[in-house]
């Protein structure tokens, strides 16, 4: 490593033996002699029909809560290459409303259901450890509140009432960055859904999957010409509180702010 880069990473000190990032990366590596022990859930999953069924349908749902169907996604006549060329991280959003059809399309692209149990993203072992929440502020015909996206029913299940934007802006270290947003998608990872099979490696898989989902979302937003800003830097505990995650077994690992058109 070049001296300047080393100084930026570690300061004047030598890298410690207890560096958390390096320790985790090493602990989650696969080794030929230990692979099956490191992914001990593989054997249990292979012989348990109950576990297999649970893994396919792992999803939170409360039929007693108010539910808003989103309707059919709006698939624009836009090629993948055009969407790639259009994709930008927006810094201004205006004060417009995002249409329900546009939000439905972005959510479906991010984590929508396909073929009964599969999703629009690759997932380690098809375990789908992610849950998408929507912090709605200015969404057509949708009350300002926090919702959980249900891919099976393609709709929004009410999580908590009340405008979530004060909490979201308070979770952003940069003042004004998300002020004009109309809605935000919060990606909550339930780490146990993948770690039970893949052990330490499962945490990597959850983060990779969040990246797949958000890339789908930003490309869908670009195709629809909806302003979008991916967020990876926020005060974790505040965002976790917004969706009821404990920050250890479950946590928000990515966010996407959307503007109106």
Q: If pLDDT is split at 50, 70 and 90, which confidence band does 13 have?
A: low
Residue 241's pLDDT band (boundaries 50, 70, 90)? Answer: very high
40 domain-assigned = yes
Confidence check: pLDDT of 16 > 80 = no
- As a whole number of angstroms, the distance between CA 55 and CA 126 comes to 8
Q: What pLDDT is attached to residue 2?
A: 66
pLDDT of residue 99: 95
Flag whether pLDDT at 243 surpasses 60.
yes
- HEC profile for the chain? CCHHHHHHHHCCCCCCCCCHHHHHHHHCCCCCCCHHHHCCHHHHHHHCHHHHHHHHCCCCCCCCCCEEECCCCCCCCCCHHHHHHHCCCCCCCCCCCECHHHHHHHHHHHHCEECCCEECCCCHHHCCCEEEEEEECCECCECCEEEEEECCCCEEEEEEECCCHHHHHHCCCCCCCCCCCCEEEEEEEECHHHHHHHCCHHHHHHHHHHHHHHHHHHHHHHHHCCCEEEECCCCHHHHHHHHCCCCCCEEEEEEEEECCC
Residue 60 belongs to a domain: yes
Determine the Cα–Cα distance for residues 13 and 136; give it in Å rounded to an integer: 46
Whichever domain contains 56, its CATH number is 3.40.109.10
pLDDT at position 5 is 65
| Predicted confidence (pLDDT) per residue in 212-227, tens digit | 999 999 999 999 999 9
- Expressed as residue numbers, the domain containing 167 is 20-258
Of 45-54, 97-106, 117-126, minimum mean pLDDT range: 45-54
> Is pLDDT of 116 > 60?
yes
Whether 66 is covered by a domain: the verdict is: yes
Taking residues 180-197, report their average pLDDT: 94
Backbone phi, then psi, for 25, in 5-degree steps? -60, -40
**Pairing mode, if any, of strands 250-258 and 113-114?**
unpaired
Q: Does residue 49 sit within a domain?
A: yes
* pLDDT confidence bin for 89, thresholds 50/70/90: very high
Overall domain count for the chain? 1
In this model, does residue 40 exceed pLDDT 70? no
In a domain, 12, yes or no: no
Q: How confident is the model at residue 94 (pLDDT cuts 50, 70, 90)?
A: confident
Q: How distant, in Å, are the alpha carbons of 54, 57, 110, 208 from that of 49? A: 9, 12, 28, 27
Residue 54 lies in a domain: yes
Q: Are 225 and 218 in contact (CB under 8 A)?
A: no
Give φ, ψ of 231 to 5 degrees. -125, 125
Quick check: is 44 in a domain? Answer: yes
**% of the chain exceeding 70 in pLDDT:** 84
**The pLDDT of residue 256:** 98
pLDDT at 125: 85
Domain-located, residue 142? yes
């Amino acid at each position: 490593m070049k001296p300047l880069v080393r100084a930026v990473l570690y300061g004047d000190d030598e890298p410690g033996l207890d560096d958390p990032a390096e320790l985790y990366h090493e602990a989650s590596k696969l080794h030929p002699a230990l692979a099956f022990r490191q992914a001990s859930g593989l054997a249990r999953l292979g012989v348990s029909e109950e576990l297999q069924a649970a893994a396919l349908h792992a999803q939170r749902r409360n039929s007693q809560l108010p539910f808003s169907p989103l309707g059919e996604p709006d698939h624009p006549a836009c090629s993948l290459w055009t969407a790639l060329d259009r994709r930008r991280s927006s810094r201004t959003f205006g004060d417009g409303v995002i249409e329900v059809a546009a939000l439905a399309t972005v959510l479906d692209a991010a984590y929508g259901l396909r073929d009964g149990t599969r999703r629009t993203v690759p997932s380690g072992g098809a375990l789908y450890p992610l849950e998408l929440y929507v912090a709605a502020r200015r969404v057509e015909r949708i009350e300002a509140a926090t919702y959980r996206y249900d891919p099976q029913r393609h709709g929004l299940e009410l999580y908590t009432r009340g405008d979530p934007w004060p909490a979201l802006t308070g979770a952003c270290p940069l003042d004004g960055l998300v002020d004009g947003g109309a809605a935000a998608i919060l990606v909550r990872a339930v780490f146990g859904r993948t770690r039970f099979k893949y052990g330490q490696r499962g945490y990597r898989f959850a983060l990779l999957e969040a990246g797949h989902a958000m890339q789908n979302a930003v490309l869908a937003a670009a195709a629809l010409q909806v302003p979008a800003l991916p967020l990876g830097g926020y005060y974790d505990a505040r965002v976790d509180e917004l969706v009821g995650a404990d920050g250890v077994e479950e946590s928000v690992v990515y966010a996407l702010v959307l503007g109106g058109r």
